[in-house]
Chains A and B, each alone.
Chain A
């Protein structure tokens, strides 16, 4: 199903924060490549620099060392080619669900009628038809994240960056959205880089799981996850993959 084209490369990326207590190395020598259409999970303990890495990939942060290369070009600033969904939804609170989804289309100067049509399609894609005119404060956390996904997809990004998007949701909503994002990924064929600190989440979602160490963040190993989809979290194969990932994470913690 996937083409094997390397569409995005993280090359030796490091990030150092200057603080009063001296320099803090947040990230060191991170490298991996993403294939078109792939679902990659970045897994690691809190504070391991995985969100920092994702923001560097997005072009929102400048790496101290190394570079991000996308389609042969160095990433220098944020671009709608790399859509992003944040941990807390980061919707514009003064815009309705539809207007949030339309934001990127407005930036591209697409006319009103077409904007509205595209936004309605995307809202249907994320399962929120009927809530187009609701404000974010009128929607639940899970619904807001659905809008945030639709908003990022509106620009047809080449890669969708997701920073612990379901971290703040209750367990049930979380599982529901994991199924949803899998479906959306399969329907849109968008490449996804998904940051999480949850092993089950990484195993449910990822084609490959990039395991990171804590402070400074380094890449420990990459585990490929070939379990067939839809994935059954109760199957013995799932359990075996979970154990592999847990032991890698444990090893990373000790490293």
Chain B
């Protein structure tokens, strides 16, 4: 990439953001909405700055991140082995796959009322939601990744003395790793999205709860600022994973193409 191309690459996203800002400002000039309906960009920015100085806000962010991390970790521990089992065992696939695929359409939000019934305000309810949000995509990406492994690599490994354990560890898993990591990336973003929804409905802490609470007190500026925080955190998590994918899978040409 040459220098001017690089400058464009940095400026383009900033431009997009500025356009949004301008449209927002224009809407305020044209419609004169009450602050509670739509705060100005500057009010939102000010709210953001004051929130940045509040320990409570940081604690809320921490709470949400913890819930996501816990659910995500359990989803990996459960999802990857189940994905492996689905890919390797016809019996397992026939028995389990239709059920799991059915559950995939029951989005995590549908479980929020049930989760609050089961777990009340306890943390486990939130972890359950994030686990559920991340689990299916991780399991199915693992399965798909393992099933698309080039049969020739498997044959080559067999003629080199690989038994079934070595095949899994040294051929199937490394070959499927890019797709598995894509599954993890998607799982993490699904978990992040769903924890916010869960906190809006049923929580006493977390950045989603903060957003809800701000709106309840007609502090739309704070609600908007919190929404910006949510977007930025999600974006950064996704970017970090993409960076990891590109670093780890330099051998895998199509890594960039997987969305």
Q: Which residues of A contact B (CB under 8 A)?
A: 55, 58-60, 77-80, 82-84, 86, 88, 90-94, 103-104, 106-108, 135-137, 148, 151-152, 154-155, 161
Contact = CB atoms under 8 A, between A and B. Distances in A.
A92 B153 contact: yes
Contacts of B31: none
B252 A93 contact: yes
Contact of A93 (B159, B160, B161, B251): B251
A174 to B, nearest CB: 20
- Per DSSP, chain B at the interface is helix
Nearest to B150: A90
Given A80-B159, A135-B251, 5 more contacts: A90-B150, A90-B156, A104-B161, A137-B251, A151-B160
B134 interface: no
A93 B251 CA distance: 6
A76 to B, nearest CB: 12
B161 to A, nearest CB: 4
A58 B174 contact: no
Q: Which of B155, B160, B163, B175: most chain A CB closer than 10 A?
A: B160
B250 interface: yes
B252 A86 contact: no
A80 B161 contact: yes
Nearest to A136: B251
Contacts of B155: 55, 58, 60, 78, 84, 86, 90
Nearest to A86: B152
A155 B161 contact: yes
B152 A88 contact: yes
Q: How large is the interface on B (under 10, 10 to 19, 20 to 34, 35 or more residues)?
A: 20 to 34
A30 B177 CA distance: 41
- Give 4 closest A-B pairs by Cβ, nearest first: A78-B158, A80-B161, A107-B161, A104-B160
Given A137-B251, A137-B253, A92 B159 contact: no
Contacts of B159: 58-60, 78-80, 82-84, 152, 161
A229 B186 CA distance: 60
B26 interface: no
A154 B171 CA distance: 18
A92 B161 contact: no
A169 B158 CA distance: 25
Contacts of B56: none
B181 to A, nearest CB: 13
10 contacts: A59-B158, A60-B159, A79-B159, A84-B155, A90-B153, A92-B175, A104-B160, A106-B170, A107-B161, A154-B160
Nearest to B174: A94
A80 B171 CA distance: 16
Contacts of A78: 155, 158-159
B246 to A, nearest CB: 14
B162 interface: yes
A155 B156 contact: no
B251 A107 contact: no
B157 interface: yes
A154 B160 CA distance: 9
A94 B172 CA distance: 12
Contact of A155 (B160, B166, B175, B253): B160
A137 B157 CA distance: 19
Nearest to A148: B156
Q: Which of B159, B161, B170: most chain A CB closer than 10 A?
A: B159
Contacts of A106: 170
Interface string B141-168: 0000000001011011111111100100
Given A88-B152, A93-B252, A137-B251, A60 B158 contact: yes
Interface in B156-202: 156-163, 166, 170-171, 174-175, 177
Nearest to B171: A92
Contacts of B161: 79-80, 104, 107-108, 155
Contacts of B158: 59-60, 77-78
A136 to B, nearest CB: 8
A106 B170 CA distance: 10
Nearest to A93: B251
Nearest to A106: B170
Given A80-B161, A86-B152, A103 B170 contact: yes
Nearest to B156: A90
Contacts of A161: 159
